[in-house]
Amino acid sequence: MLRFFIPDEYLPSIHWVDPARLGRRGIRGIILDLDNTLVEWNHPEPPEELLGWFAKVRQAGLRTCVVSNNSAARVQGFVHRLEIPGIDKAVKPRRGAFRRAMALMGTSPGETAVVGDQIFTDILGGKRLGLYTILVAPVTRREFIGTRLVRLVEGAFLRYLCRRGRIPVVALERAAPRKERRHGH
């Protein structure tokens, strides 16, 4: 049962995900979480650095689809700017939205990766379908109140995995969420 909660990789940010390497692993499509994976929670625009990462994804020949538990207005407004499909109100970790994303990308479980910032939604949902899973550190600590509460449990679980040798301590330290920057300080 524990295997459903252990990511295949744990990285500091989406920018550490190497699309070319995923392609060499046989991955043809990436399911992406939105808030605190790609951008800060409810941030409306993809920053230039993220656009550069998506260019590398396209260059590697990979397809992408955003799968988020957020609203249609939030998800569709964001993916429209990237010209990729998106699935809103996904009810992750349920499998339906992950299956729909694979259908949109034309990929099978063995050739699909999931990248997200939460074990109990993104990683669990992907593992339940046999997808390659990558946990990234949240972009910021600012997020929905319910998510903040889940993070308390998730943090304890990540420390447990480190103690058991299931996730390298170095990965946990590198992937610690960045503190919010205050302007003018």
Q: H/E element holding 71?
A: none
| Chain centroid to CA 90 | 14
Q: What CATH code would you report for 2-174?
A: 3.40.50.1000
Distance CA 92, CA 143 (A): 17
Distance separating the N- and C-terminal Cα atoms of the chain: 46
156: pLDDT confidence band, cut at 50, 70 and 90? confident
Domain regions of the chain by residue span? 2-174
Look at residue 157 in the predicted model and tell me its pLDDT: 81
Read off the pLDDT of residues 99-122 as tens digits, 9 standing for 90 and up. 999 999 999 999 999 999 999 999
Query: Counting beta carbons within 10 angstroms of the beta carbon of residue 166, is it exposed (0 to 12), middle (13 to 18) or buried (19 or more)?
Result: middle
Look at residue 61 in the predicted model and tell me its pLDDT: 97
Q: Higher model confidence: residue 162 or residue 33?
A: 33
Distance CA 31, CA 122 (A): 9
- 64 pLDDT higher than 90: yes
Distances 54 to 2, 10, 14, 90, 180 between C-alpha atoms, Å? 32, 19, 10, 22, 24
- 168 pLDDT higher than 80: no
152: left (phi over 0), alpha (psi -120 to 50) or beta: alpha
Distances 128 to 79, 123, 134, 174 between C-alpha atoms, Å? 25, 9, 14, 27
Tokens, residue 95? 């499998």
- 170 pLDDT higher than 50: no
Q: Which of 9-23, 32-46, 73-87 has the lowest mean pLDDT?
A: 32-46
Q: 12: cis peptide before it, omega within 30°? A: no
